[in-house]
Chain A
Amino acid sequence: MALKHKTPLLDELESGPWPSFVSDLKREAESRQKNEKGIDFQCPAEMPEDLLGVVELSYVHKRTHWKHGGIVGVFGYGGGVIGRYCDQPEMFPAVAHFHTIRINQPSSKFYTTEYLEQLMDLCERRGSGITNMHGSTGDIVFLGAHTPQLEEIFWELTHNINQDLGGSGGNLRTPACCLGGARCEFACINTQHICHTLTNVYQDELHRPAFPYKFKFKFDGCPNCCVASIARSDLSFIGTWRDDIRIDQKAVNAYVGGELKSNAGAHAGRDWGPFDIQKEVIDLCPTECMNWDGSKLSIDTSNCTRCMHCINTMPRALRVGQDTGVSLMCGAKAPILEGAQMGSLLVPFIKCEDPYDELKEVIEGLWDWWMEEGKNRERIGELMKRQGFQRALEAIGLKAVPQHVKEPRSNPYVFWKEDEVPGGWKTDIDEFRKYHQR
C-alpha cells in the first residue's frame, strides 16, 4: 500500500537486524489507511504517515521540525500533557499538533489484556494510534493527539479505564516501582503498595506544579535496584534489612558440590568450570565480611553493605534478612546540568509500613527545604551540592552518622555548630581576620 510520503532515509533504518520504529510506523499507517475495524478516527487517519514525512524531512535538513512546549493541558492539571507542534503544518497537516500525553502506569506495570486493549482502542480512536511503552519515568505515553482530543482522552481515561495522567513539568513525576514481592523473593518491601499509596497521597504534587523542577520517586524492593532508583530518582527507596542474611548451610554445600547451579543457572551458556565459592563469592565481597572454612559459611552483618552479590550467586542458600525496611538515597539526576549524579545515602534504615508516616515526614521535610531554597530549574541533588549535605539532613531533622561520610578526612561536609558541642566555643572574628583576609 502506497504511503503519502517517500522516506528513503528512514527506510535505511529498517535494514539492520534490530526492530525498527520505522517499520512499526508504516504498519500503523497501513492499518489506519485500511481501517478494517471501521474506527471513527477523531484525529486524522494519516497521522503516522505525516509523522514519517516530518521525521524524513528532519533527516534531510538535519534539524528538527518540532516546536516543543505549550499551554495545552487538561483543565486544572499542570502536568501530564506536553504541547508539540510541527513547524511545517501545510506540508504535514495531520501532525500540525502532536501533543504528548503521559499516563500513570499501574504499579510494576502489571496489566490485564483487557486493560491494554482499552488503552490501545482509546489511543487509536482519539489519538494517532502511536504509543511509547514506557517513557523514561515509566509512564504509558500516547504520542500525538490534537488539542480538541485532550479533554476527551482524559475523560475516557479517568471514567472508563480508571486511570490518571502522569507527571510532567515542575511536578512530582509518576512514581515507579520494581516487580517487588509479586515476582521476586528478594523484595524487602511491598513496592507496589508504597508506590500506589504515595501516588494517591501526593496527587496534588503530581498534577499541580509546586516545585522548582522535576522530582522523581522510585521504589526498589532490594539493593539489586532493578528500577535503577539510585541513579534515576531524586528520592530513591531501596529495600534493605538490618538483621542477618539467612544462611542455609546445606544449600551452600550443595552449590560448592555442584548440585545447585550458581546464579540460578544464568551463565550456563558457556562452561565456566566448577563453582569456586572462594573465588566467585568470598573474594568478591566488597567489604570482605564473609568467610568459608570449607564446610561452613559465615557473614559479619555489621560490615555487610548489602551489595547482593552473594545472594544473587547462591539464591537457594542465602536469603535477605527478615527485619526489613528501606534506605533512602537523595539527589540522583541525569546529566542535563553539571553531569550525572547518583543518590547520596540520606536515611540508612527506616521501616516501610503502611501508612508510611515516617517516610512522609522525610519527603515533606525535603520538599519544604527545596521549595524554599531551590533555584528555578535546580534539582534537589544540585541544591544539596550547592548548600551542602548537612542542610539536607537538617531539613529532615536527622543527625549525621558514619554511613553519611563518603570519604573520611577528604570530604569534611559535616560542620559542627557551637550549640552542638558541649561547652561551645568563642570565636574572635577580628583576631581571625588579622591572619585570614576575606
Chain B
Amino acid sequence: MAILDEEAAKKIIVETLQKKKGKTKFYLKDFYKWLPDEKNREIKNLVNKMVREEILEYWSSGSTTLIGLKGVGKQAAAEEGDD
C-alpha cells in the first residue's frame, strides 16, 4: 500500500465492516471510500487478497459483485432455505 502498510489497511477494512449495521455486503467502490488515500487498484488487489485469505467473501448476483466479511450475513446454508 502506498500510505498505510497492508496490515493497517486490512484492519480498517475489517473494523469498518464489523461496525456496519444491517447491510453485510458492499460494492468494491465502498472500500475505496474507507481508504481514501490509497490507490483504487491497490485496494482492489488487497480486497482480492483478503478473499484468498478467507477474511472476506464475494457475493455475486451474476451481474454485480458485492463483498463482505466471510461468514457474516446470509450464507450458503441459509440461501438454500426459504428465508
Contacts and interface: CB of A to CB of B under 8 A. Distances in A.
A170 interface: yes
B34 interface: no
Contact of B44 (A73, A79, A169, A208): A208
A212 interface: yes
B79 A209 contact: no
B59 A69 contact: yes
Interface in B1-48: 27-29, 40-41, 44, 48
A236 B67 CA distance: 29
Majority-rule SS of A interface residues: loop
A340 to B, nearest CB: 16
Nearest to B68: A71
B80 A71 contact: no
B79 A81 contact: no
Contact of A170 (B52, B64, B75, B76): B64
A346 to B, nearest CB: 22
A375 B30 CA distance: 10
A168 B60 contact: yes
Interface in B52-68: 52, 57-65, 67
Interface string A65-99: 00111111101101101110101010000001100
Contacts of A147: 76
Contacts, number: 95
B80 A85 contact: yes
A371 interface: yes
A210 B51 CA distance: 13
Contact of A73 (B27, B41, B58): B58
A296 B75 CA distance: 72
Nearest to A78: B58
Contacts of A174: none
A169 B61 contact: yes
Given A170-B28, A210-B44, A371-B41, A72 B64 contact: no
Q: Which 9 A-B pairs have the closest CB atoms?
A: A169-B65, A69-B61, A82-B62, A209-B65, A208-B48, A170-B65, A78-B58, A169-B60, A376-B27
Interface of A: 67-73, 75-76, 78-79, 81-83, 85, 87, 89, 96-97, 100, 147, 168-171, 204, 208-214, 368, 371-372, 374-377
